[in-house]
Amino acid sequence: MNFEKINVKIYLEKGQDIPLSQFINIFHRFIQQNLLEGMLVDVAEYTHVFQGPGVILIAHEGNYSLDEMDGKRGLLYNQKRFRVDHGVENLKIALRRALKACELLEKEPELAGKLKFNPARLRIWVNDRLGTIGTNRGFSELEEGIRSVLDPLNGSPVKLIPEMDSRKLTAFEVEMDKPLSMASLSGK
């Protein structure tokens, strides 16, 4: 299994009504204080796009955004450059980075009590149309990778709902019994 360019979206439980523009200054602060892994570069604002990428924190290795694709707001980590040649490790890196960004956002003083992510509800896909789009091989490899990482952390098989539209990227909605945490990912 050697997939790259993994995307992880952690859906919001609370905070859909927070104006996306409020995240612009927060993401700028993340850059100034170097709060996330990798080289943080810039912030882009697409709040005018209906069900679009929202506000994006651009980084060298991958982008973070408050995304509204399909009408569901959440934190999206879009891995652009892979660090290892093994899909499972890339998935772990993407999950860890997404969770860290969610934790930081929830702790922001101006969002205190207004924002809550649900790390038991995820969407995971591979942003690679050539290598994986809607093929059985792409689905089975991604499913195998997700299960190898998340099933042990969940304590039982996670519920995976595949995106079966061959015109779209290979993707799964993931529902877990237990919320994913930084501690569970690091084995502590």
Which DSSP symbol is given to 67?
E
> How far is 110 from 157, CA to CA, in rounded Å?
37
Question: Given its phi and psi angles, is residue 34 left (phi above 0), alpha (psi -120 to 50 degrees) or beta?
Answer: left
Domain ranges (residues) in the chain? 6-186
- Report which secondary-structure segment, H or E, holds 66: strand 62-67
The gap from C-alpha 148 to its chain's centroid, in whole angstroms, comes to 18
Residue 188 pLDDT: 47
Main-chain dihedrals φ then ψ at residue 92, nearest 5 degrees: -60, -40
Q: What is the pLDDT along the chain (188 residues), one digit of tens a residue?
A: 567 789 999 999 999 999 999 999 999 999 999 999 889 999 999 999 999 999 999 999 999 999 999 899 999 999 987 666 667 888 999 999 999 999 999 999 999 899 999 999 999 998 776 555 555 666 788 889 899 999 998 888 999 998 877 677 788 999 999 898 877 776 54
Residue 182 pLDDT: 77
The angle, 0 to 180 degrees and rounded to 10, between the axes of the packed helices 22-32 and 87-107 is 110
Q: Which amino acid is at 42?
A: D
